[in-house]
Amino acid sequence: MRLRKSDWSSYPKGLPIEALKGVGPSLSAKLSRIGINTAEDLLFHLPFRYEDRTTVSTIASVTAGSSYLLEGIISETKIIFGRRRSLLAFLEDNTGRIGLRFYYFSKSQQAKLDSKKKIRCYGEARKGASGLEIYHPEYANIDIDTSPNEHLTPIYPLTEGITQSRYRKIVAEALLYLKKVPIQNLINRKSGIDISEAIQYLHKPPPGANADLLMQGEHPAQKTLSLDELTAHQTYSRLIRDELKKLKAPGHSNPGSKYKKAIRSLGFKLTGAQSRVAKEISNDMMQKHPMLRLIQGDVGSGKTVLAALAAIHTHENGLQSAVMAPTELLAEQHFYTLSAWLEPLKIEVSLLTGNVKGKTRKIQIERIKDGKTNVIIGTHALFQREIIFQSLGIVIIDEQHRFGVHQRLALREKGAKKNFAPHQMIMTATPIPRTLSMGIYAEMDVSTIDELPPGRKPISTSVLSNDKRSEVIAKVDAACQSGRQAYWVCTLIAESEHLECEAAEKVAAELQDRLPKISIALVHGKLSSDAKAKIMDEFKKGSVDLLVSTTVIEVGVDVPNASLMIIENSERLGLAQLHQLRGRVGRGSNVSHCLLLYKQPLGELSRQRLTVMRESNDGFFIAERDLEIRGPGEIFGTKQSGEIRLKIADFLRDKEMLPEAREIAEKLLIEDRETAKILIRRWITNTEDVGLV
């Protein structure tokens, strides 16, 4: 079925993808997996990089680690049997020969690579068993002499079963008709090119296109579409805010006597920033629509006390609170901390994690359902269907970027029983620079705790090669012998809890052997909840001098006497995680030290990260540098979580566009909401999933 101009207007969101030449049911199903269901989806699925295949290189000029366009005759083809069966073809020109290796191949592919056939191929050269080889190159048989492509070659983010060459053919089919049926410009921008021209340019850059600008995302065509996409996200965020305001919420009365008594009984005075944010939270909860507020603050800035005050305010209005943490250790820490503050006020607190089983679990679930438990702290266990709240008034989520959209939605919907949506308070110790908060969390109100409690001393950070390990162990010995406590954190590059635990066990045994006079304990993710709690309690009481741990202690652990932190393999961790771990010390009156051990050779990105850690204790500065090094998608989980899937824009690179995008979005929602919805559908594929989160 060929595209016709009339077809484009026959469907709310463009022509079904099956209408394009070459797209059958099987390919259509695969395209659907990456959000492509219509011709317009296809055109807005843009390249993420470009390759220069405009010049043929000689085989003699090839070096490992670079990509080349090569042309020559297949001189030999054979199947290699061994640990992994492969097809190896040798390509020759008049300067040399190179191997083309395929681990996945068919008989027809083998026939196409038969001896004496002339082909042109592209791929990255590497050292292989036969010398220089290219693994799974893109290739085409050449029957007659043809010139290389004059255009830069676009590379798309695809899924298994769709090759780049096949996808480019489908795009070419759609581009033919884009010229006849232009895509509508939906926003009035201050500058930029026509959106159809921009799409045409990015899918098929003309000869002589500036490759550097395209690779940096700075070409005017990319800027045009980036503004379009950022405006769509701003518009969508504002629609979410509008929808939230339509929902009913349990509007609270002013904070009462328990709230005020709790503040007096804390044993410390709230900082000015804590007092300001506490007031913002209580004011939000007194409204008749749900609060959606993000509380961001550096490690140790005192976010937990704000969670406690919000829970007390909720209890005073006859409602329950759910506090959700990403790990059992953090959930347990919250349980002990909040219990100490709330139970003297006759507010019942319970802990519900995956490790709470049997009769204890059954009793807790019944008390939650009956409303006898006022504050429920847990992990993902709170999402389970058997957990029914009598009257959920607020959901408090700690380290929210670790939870997916569906998880947060599932917990929010547990408050729908009373025909209202619970308030949502989200806490993070990964600060979001102001330049980005309007993009990443535009639908939320953001409160910043920009002040640490008085008396906190800066943590001195040193970066040491593993060659200095003996010196580091001597420092640990001296610190513990003098009455202080220390952490030794073990990390592994492999994402395997089992291997990480084995590494920690090995280190603990080594340290016990070399430090016989100090008490050493080991905590890791494979221990039971009770075992972890017992060890942490002994560490808090001072019975344990040195705690060897995996990264399970990253957040939430608070032991004021611990003033020394050793992090092994620190080059393998990101800045945010390093800063979180370091934040476990520096909570008491002693000057604290963090020693970052690394193994050579040290890569450039790792060197940058460790330098930042050595030079700064400021979480906001570290977040800015982390953004520059990694980008917002990696930091906030937006590449993986499904929360924000940017197709071309980049919150960091395009941050100067955010004010214009916000301005256009506000105007669009006032003047033309239907166009606003079309713009959202154009760029955001999962609107149904995240609409009320």
- Identify the pLDDT of residue 245: 80
Which of 40-44, 307-311, 624-628, 642-646 has the highest mean predicted lDDT (pLDDT)? 307-311
Tell me the average pLDDT across 350-365: 88
What's the pLDDT band for 375 if we cut at 50, 70, 90?
Answer: very high
Percent of the chain with pLDDT over 90: 48
Residue 5 has pLDDT above 50, yes or no: no
Which of 304-318, 488-502, 561-575, 579-593 has the highest mean predicted lDDT (pLDDT)? 304-318
- Identify the pLDDT of residue 1: 42
What's the pLDDT band for 47 if we cut at 50, 70, 90?
Answer: very high
DSSP secondary structure, 340-388, as one string: HHHGGGT--EEEE-TT--HHHHHHHHHHHHHT---EEEESGGGGSTT--
Residue 403 has pLDDT above 60, yes or no: no
What's the pLDDT band for 73 if we cut at 50, 70, 90?
Answer: very high
- Identify the pLDDT of residue 634: 52
Residue 281: its H or E element: helix 272-285
Confirm if 54 and 152 have CB atoms less than 8 A apart.
Answer: yes
Length of the chain in terms of residues written? 693
What's the pLDDT band for 689 if we cut at 50, 70, 90?
Answer: very low
pLDDT in tens, 295-336: 998 888 889 999 999 999 999 999 999 999 888 878 888 998
pLDDT in tens, 213-251: 998 889 999 999 999 999 999 998 888 888 778 888 888
Say which residue, 154 or 642, is predicted with more confidence.
154
Residue 497 has pLDDT above 70, yes or no: no
* Nearest one of 54, 42, 49, 6 to 199, comparing CA atoms: 42
Tell me the average pLDDT across 46-69: 93
Separation CA 365–CA 386 (nearest Å):
8
Tell me the average pLDDT across 578-585: 89
- Identify the pLDDT of residue 640: 38
- Identify the pLDDT of residue 644: 60
What's the pLDDT band for 691 if we cut at 50, 70, 90?
Answer: very low
What's the pLDDT band for 499 if we cut at 50, 70, 90?
Answer: low
| Mean pLDDT estimate for the chain | 85
Q: What SS3 state is found at 89?
A: strand
Residue 27 has pLDDT above 90, yes or no: yes
pLDDT in tens, 181-199: 888 888 887 777 899 999 9
What's the pLDDT band for 63 if we cut at 50, 70, 90?
Answer: very high
**Computed over its alpha carbons, how large is the radius of gyration of the chain?**
29
- Identify the pLDDT of residue 301: 86
- Identify the pLDDT of residue 621: 87
- Identify the pLDDT of residue 323: 95
What's the pLDDT band for 686 if we cut at 50, 70, 90?
Answer: low
DSSP secondary structure, 97-117, as one string: EEEEEESS--HHHHHHT-TT-
Confirm if 692 and 243 have CB atoms less than 8 A apart.
Answer: yes
Tell me the average pLDDT across 554-563: 75
What's the pLDDT band for 559 if we cut at 50, 70, 90?
Answer: confident
Query: Can you say whether the dihedral through the CA atoms of 168, 173, 179, 184 is positive or negative?
Result: negative
What's the pLDDT band for 207 if we cut at 50, 70, 90?
Answer: confident
Pairing outcome for strands 593-598 and 118-128:
unpaired
The domains located in the chain, with CATH, are: 5-50+160-214 (1.10.150.20), 55-148 (2.40.50.140), 225-246+658-690 (no CATH), 257-449 (3.40.50.300), 460-616 (3.40.50.300)
Tell me the average pLDDT across 281-299: 92
